[in-house]
Amino acid sequence: MSEPTFSHLNESGQAHMVNVGGKEITSRRAVARCNVQMSPATSAAITSASLPKGDVIATARIAGIQAAKKTSELIPLCHPLMLSAVTVNISVGEGVVAIEAIVETTGQTGVEMEALTACSIAALTIYDMCKSADKSMVIGELALWEKSGGRSGTFQRPE
């Protein structure tokens, strides 16, 4: 296996923002997913909209969309991007909330970080809104599931 290269390090090993000016403009898309594990009673309270802070799913969806748009302000070496679309899908199962973020743009760099950030902040919002009912919730399994566009091509995580 070859040694990994880190594009965010210059010849001297110092962190820097990658110059994407010479890269081709392509359609880019990324899909990230994560889960929030919780008690079945908490997921039932989300479904029945009986938590005191209000509509957990709608609030988490909006938080995820806002987070995708603010990624370059949160991750130091990310480029600010003009996003074409951000979709945050949230489904509630017994004892789990599954979050999927899909981010698209046409540009010179990908949207993987935007999709991962959207999932993370949606999950943290769910935690915040439900913590009075369940402090034992666990946010986990955050991962990039798909990406397309750009020089490195397509990636798809095996199911």
Active-site residue numbers? 128
Residue 32 three-state SS: strand
* DSSP codes joined into one string, 38-63: --HHHHHHHHTT-STT--HHHHHHHH
* DSSP codes joined into one string, 84-130: SEEEEEEEEETTEEEEEEEEEEEESS--HHHHHHHHHHHHHHHHHHH
Query: 44 Cβ partners below 8 Å, 6+ apart?
Result: 94
CB atoms within 10 A of CB 74: 12
